[in-house]
Amino acid sequence: MKRLLLPFFCFILLVNCSKDSSGIDDEFLDVQDDESITDPSPESTIDPSDIPNDIWWNDEVFYEIFVRSFNDSDGNGIGDIQGIIDKLDYLNDGNPATTTDLGITGLWLMPIFPSPSYHGYDVTDYRDINSDYGTLEDFRRLLTEAHSRGIKVIIDFVGNHTSDQHQWFTQSASGQSKRDWYLWEQNNPNFNGPWGQTVWHQRNNAYYYGLFWGGMPDLNFHNDEVTQEIKDISQFWAEIGVDGFRIDAVKHWVEEGSNQENTQSTLDWWRDYYAFQKSLNPSFMTVGEVWTSTQNILPYSDKRLDYCFEFDLASSIINSINSQTAAALKQKVNQVTSNYNFAQYGTFLANHDQNRVFNQLGGSIARAKLAASILLSLPGVPYLYYGEEIGMVGEKPDENIRLPMQWDTTPNGGFTTGTPWRPLNANAMDFNVEGMQADENSLWNHYRHWIDLRKTNPALTQGQYKGLGASVNSIFAFLRHDTTAGQIVMILHNLSSQNQTRFAVNSISSEIPSGVYTLVDIQNDTNLGSLTIQANGGFSTQDLNISIAPYASIALKLQVQ
């Protein structure tokens, strides 16, 4: 993988860890957020300290795939599991010396179970594969091929609700059996959902609860039989060999009357499930979709799931780039890093439920590159949504943000030899893998480089975060320091559309040992000057003439003189 070009990327200091400092002008010190959020709810009977765990995901970069739209292997216009196998070398060929693969080390597959819908979030059989995508044998082969390349595989687990065509529900609705596997009332309870939507739906002279719509009836987790069935299904997939689950709609799992999200019953259920999951395999990972504020996500990350996606942080990254100011992003990162267990949250820019990040950033390649740099330099477990690396576009409705992958300039963008299930984006001829791989300055190569940079610098995966002050409000500056590896990384991002010169960043204290260091361009080993670190690790770059291009960064390493 090629190194970063100076005008594009981040300022990085690689040094040994130690000490603190004082005596530096603090007029532009970083905004601090000391808010501490704790779970006020009572604990369940399970002692979290007794639950084993094997944390491997901090070292990974995940890639989210909508199987229907990624690659079609048989020409029927629908992406499939064999299509993913055929493109594994694109994702990671298993050889660190090559530069033609993206370098991701984890896959998240959106729902692969049988379903009557195109998206698969209404399941009809939890122990099989959607026939549009292939067979269980195909999936087992995908696991084998991915694991041989060092790629972990997690699957979307949709357990809050089923399809109304699932046999459990048809039996429940007819009164044959499993009546209390779902929530039924003889009379309409007449309360709506958290977004004002209808949640009670009529069937056979009674009403059943379905949070999202009538075709997705919610399971009744007050029923121990339902819980046991979900545990059995989890064990089935763990034995198949998946590395974990992305779990849908976590906060809605157990209702308490009209209280439909973040209930104590939900928190208790997940604590019990976590203990069960880890009893199967301490390495089995769960990442939750808890689409809410940081404060409400935190309890789910406390031995209930391994971690959850940080939606507020994703919005903060996008909004800070569009506003060209770093203050709100600094506050959000400080809050996140101060309250979660170290790096135990999923970071991302956009996913399958949101407008494509390229649209959110106004179709700007420069802004998209900067967003990628920020994502891949922050703590947390980063996720890319397929096509993000080539600037795919799409705005709701949902089908338009899940369109076929753009591989090349051949008919149908190389996605299929047949008629695609949905037409490709209008920008497919200009924004595709083949073209961007050939351009060393492309968005694709930018992502590839940053993934490599993250993998080859332990401070970017294991290093603690410390915000830095900046004399310009468009500079987002922070340290990542890993004392075990003896490495500190200092990163500066220019969020502005203007070239930034003669700015400074500082810290009144840090973990950097005192001394004089040479700043060296990480790309070409050019000496860019000296930096003095004071007794307690304090420093300021105000005497250095560092220039950063619009929406870009600089990468430097610090060498002891």
Give me the phi and psi of 63, to 5 degrees please. Answer: -135, 120
Predicted local confidence at residue 313, as pLDDT: 98
Class for the domain spanning 62-158+236-456: alpha beta
CA nearest to 349, candidates 373, 399, 396, 384: 384
Predicted local confidence at residue 354, as pLDDT: 98
Encoded tokens for 143:
């696991």
In angstroms and rounded to an integer, the radius of gyration of the C-alpha atoms of the chain is 25
Element (H, E) at 228: helix 224-240
3-class state of residue 364 by DSSP: coil
Mean pLDDT for the stretch of residues 445-463:
92
Mean pLDDT for the stretch of residues 324-342:
96
- 46: pLDDT confidence band, cut at 50, 70 and 90? low
pLDDT at 137 over 50: yes
Predicted local confidence at residue 277, as pLDDT: 94
Residue 470: strand pairing partners: 505
| Percentage with pLDDT > 70 across the chain | 90
Instruction: Identify the active-site residue in 289, 306, 389, 511.
Output: 289
**N-term to C-term CA, the chain:** 29
pLDDT at 15 over 60: no
CB atoms closer than 10 angstroms to residue 295: 14
CB atoms closer than 10 angstroms to residue 240: 13
CA nearest to 390, candidates 359, 355, 428: 428
Q: Measured between alpha carbons, how far is 20 from 537 in angstroms, rounded to an integer?
A: 4
Predicted local confidence at residue 45, as pLDDT: 54
Residues 528/521, Cβ–Cβ less than 8 Å = yes
Mean pLDDT for the stretch of residues 306-334:
97
Per-chain mean pLDDT for the chain: 90
Secondary structure (DSSP) of 284-336: -EEEE---S-HHHHGGGGTTTSSEEB-HHHHHHHHHHHHHT--HHHHHHHHHH
3-class state of residue 6 by DSSP: coil
Instruction: Identify the active-site residue in 248, 255, 388, 511.
Output: 248
> Residues 128, 57, 276, 266: is their CA dihedral positive or negative?
negative
Chain segment 349-400, per-residue pLDDT in tens: 999 999 999 999 999 999 999 999 999 999 999 999 999 999 999 999 999 9
Chain segment 418-435, per-residue pLDDT in tens: 999 999 998 999 999 999
pLDDT at 530 over 90: no
Burial class, 196, CB count within 10 angstroms (exposed 0-12 / middle 13-18 / buried 19+): exposed
Q: Measured between alpha carbons, how far is 295 from 342 in angstroms, rounded to an integer?
A: 16
Active site residue 248: yes
- 153: pLDDT confidence band, cut at 50, 70 and 90? very high
CA dihedral 539, 545, 546, 550 (to 10 degrees): 130
Residues contacting 512, CB < 8 A, separation 6+: 13, 15, 16, 17, 18, 19, 488, 533, 537, 539, 558
Chain segment 243-282, per-residue pLDDT in tens: 999 999 999 999 999 999 999 999 999 999 999 999 999 9
Encoded tokens for 293:
């504020």
Flag the least confident range among 127-131, 174-178, 506-510: 506-510
Predicted local confidence at residue 30, as pLDDT: 34
Of residues 8 and 297, more confidence is placed in: 297
In order of 144, 170, 310, 480, the CA distances from 59 in angstroms are: 20, 44, 18, 14
- 518: pLDDT confidence band, cut at 50, 70 and 90? confident
pLDDT at 53 over 90: no
CA nearest to 480, candidates 493, 471, 468, 470: 468
Residues 161/218, Cβ–Cβ less than 8 Å = yes
Could you list the beta-strand ranges (E) of 377-526.
381-385, 464-467, 469-470, 475-482, 487-494, 500-501, 505-507, 515-521
Domain ranges of the chain: 62-158+236-456, 167-209
Secondary structure (DSSP) of 388-414: GGGT----SSGGGGSPPP---SSGGGG
Chain segment 193-213, per-residue pLDDT in tens: 999 999 999 999 999 999 999
pLDDT at 41 over 50: no
Q: Measured between alpha carbons, how far is 39 from 35 in angstroms, rounded to an integer?
A: 13
3-class state of residue 138 by DSSP: helix
Predicted local confidence at residue 523, as pLDDT: 65
Residues contacting 498, CB < 8 A, separation 6+: 474, 550
pLDDT at 408 over 60: yes
**Amino acid letter for position 339:** N
In order of 134, 182, 185, 219, the CA distances from 164 in angstroms are: 23, 11, 17, 11
Q: Looking up tokens 């004089």, which residue turns up?
A: 516
pLDDT at 311 over 90: yes
Encoded tokens for 324:
């060209």
Q: Looking up tokens 């009332």, which residue turns up?
A: 185
Residue 190 is given by DSSP the state -
Of residues 54 and 383, more confidence is placed in: 383
Flag the least confident range among 9-23, 360-374, 499-513: 9-23
Predicted local confidence at residue 401, as pLDDT: 98
Active site residue 310: no
pLDDT at 176 over 70: yes
Q: Measured between alpha carbons, how far is 536 from 555 in angstroms, rounded to an integer?
A: 24
Q: Measured between alpha carbons, how far is 543 from 329 in angstroms, rounded to an integer?
A: 26
- 79: pLDDT confidence band, cut at 50, 70 and 90? very high
Predicted local confidence at residue 529, as pLDDT: 79
Predicted local confidence at residue 10, as pLDDT: 41
Residue 184: strand pairing partners: 208
Predicted local confidence at residue 475, as pLDDT: 95
**381-385 and 505-507 strand pairing:** unpaired
Predicted local confidence at residue 301, as pLDDT: 95
CA nearest to 88, candidates 28, 152, 37: 152
Q: Measured between alpha carbons, how far is 397 from 64 in angstroms, rounded to an integer?
A: 19
